[in-house]
Amino acid sequence: MASALSLYLMCPVCLSDFKDPVSLPCEHVLCRQCASRYLESSKGPHKCPECRQNFTRTDLKGIRVLRNVVDAIQEQRKKKQLIQPNAEEMLCSEHKEPLKLFCVNDQRLVCLICKEGMKHSGHSFKPVKEAKEMSEKMVNKALSFILDDNKQMGDMILNQTLEITKSKERAKHLETLMHAQFKKMHDFLLKKEEDAMRQIQKAANSAEESMKHNGSLLSKLQIKGNSQVSILESGLKINQPERFLEWWSKDGFPLVNEISESKNIKFAIPTKFKSKHDGVRVICDHFTLGPYETDLPLMVWRDMLGPVKRDLSDSSTMDKDLKLAFKKENHQQPQGEDYFARFQKFHNGYRENYVESIQPGQVYWEVDIEAEPGWERGLTVRYYPKEKNTSLWQTLFNKGFENISLSVKNGRLYAVRGDKETLIANQTKPRRVGVYVDSVKHQVVFCNADSISLIHTVWCGDQ
């Protein structure tokens, strides 16, 4: 029962009995010293190591009752340790003689008869008191070591808790950052869509207005033609020559003269008439947006590259195959730090023995494993562990480097570090691979540039 109770009296940070226990608002309990170290070492909001609820230094409340319970149990443990065994327990089980000596070889109590027996022939013996002092020194030394080891373990647990908090906060920061970047792209595409809708509406309205105007003109010409038909038909209904010629002089001649191609029909019967169709046509019902109508994705992507390129630094490039590359340099690399290098790329691919150093910061490039000669070297990063008092030039020409690469065998991907090769599960061969090197974080990342997904990450300096 005491052992079960001890579990409830253990601090979750140092994993030892509570020392001056304090409670948090969430009712979890820590040692006051553990809580203070946590508050001093963490930045930003302080969270409970067990439930992640926020708390401040003023929230720490001492628990006198729990402290008294811990003290009482520790006192009980001490009393149990001080209880002396009875006389029977201190007698030799074989000879029933007092245990007066300690066998150094067997590390056990023996009686005087045991000392002379064959079992202990040639062994060394010490008096009980002297053996106790020697063993106590070893116990104290072991205890000191374990206490120090436990303290270091407690510090590691605390640091691990802080790293968990930092990781969660960084994840939230990245989520916010990526939401903002995607929103920027969404807003750009939404604006392009709205612009396209306005262009369609504008073009459609303009085409409709033009066709309506033309339709109105055609209607007027048709009405005029119907009126001319009525005038001519009314003249043909007149039988009396005098009245017909009177109509002809007043209505018939001006109308026929108007539609005749010849303007002098006084002495000749016209043979050709001018049609109302001349000079007019039916306007087609379609309109066009040019390349935006036939190649909208390409044109929008072209337009989108504008703001994207403005966001990129001068050291960022995108070639005709849309392969992206960039580098962001940080501080000058000091002596004695790790170096990274890669194979140089020429117009005909990558060459052996031509390497260039990677400046401190972040570098990214893409390799087309289906088209580029020597693509295996393009997917290889050389890692030079730090050496004191060694220049970059000396480092790049020594043999103390480690190759980190990605290889393809039978359509399967393998991560290679030095002479160690590891199969990457659930990954198929991509067409294009991106290589990202962060020399500040000692990190090499391979990603699928086709699907924009991670393939494998190597933390250099760690095996």
Residue 383 has pLDDT above 90, yes or no: no
- Three-point CA angle 452, 427, 371, nearest 5°: 65
Residue 2 domain flag: yes
Residue 433 domain flag: yes
Q: Under the phi-then-psi rule, with left for phi > 0, alpha for psi from -120 to 50, and beta for the rest, what region is 251?
A: alpha
Q: What is the pTM of this model?
A: 0.51
Residue 245 has pLDDT above 80, yes or no: yes
DSSP-derived secondary structure for 205-255: HHHHHHHHHHHHHHHHHHHHHHHHHHHHHHHHT--SHHHHHHHIIIIIHHH
Last residue of a domain, which of 82, 101, 132? 82
Query: Which structural domain, as residue segments, surrounds residue 6?
Result: 1-82
Residue 402 has pLDDT above 60, yes or no: yes
Comparing 440 with 318, which gets the higher pLDDT? 440
Last residue of a domain, which of 82, 109, 143? 82
Least confident of 15-24, 89-98, 257-266: 257-266
Closest CA to 169 of 44, 41, 37, 50: 44
Residue 9 domain flag: yes
Count CB atoms within 10 A of the CB of residue 398: 10
Cross-strand bridge partners of residue 61:
23
Residues 317/367, Cβ–Cβ less than 8 Å: no
C-alpha to C-alpha distance for 256 and 273, rounded to whole angstroms? 8
- Residue 126's pLDDT band, with cuts at 50, 70 and 90, is very high
Q: Please state, for a pLDDT cut of 70, what percent of the chain lies above it.
A: 79
Q: Which two tokens mark 340?
A: 């990274």
The pLDDT of residue 188 is 87
Q: Which two tokens mark 461?
A: 């300096």
CATH of the domain at 16: 3.30.40.10
Last residue of a domain, which of 51, 82, 113? 82
C-alpha to C-alpha distance for 407 and 441, rounded to whole angstroms? 24
Residue 104 domain flag: no
Closest CA to 408 of 376, 432, 381, 434: 376
The secondary structure of residue 119, as a DSSP letter, is: G
Residues 406/413, Cβ–Cβ less than 8 Å: yes
Distance from the first to the final alpha carbon of the chain = 44
Residue 66 domain flag: yes
Comparing 90 with 403, which gets the higher pLDDT? 403
Query: Considering its fold, how many domains does the chain have in total?
Result: 2
Residue 68 domain flag: yes
Residue 148 domain flag: no
Residue 415 domain flag: yes
C-alpha to C-alpha distance for 23 and 50, rounded to whole angstroms? 12
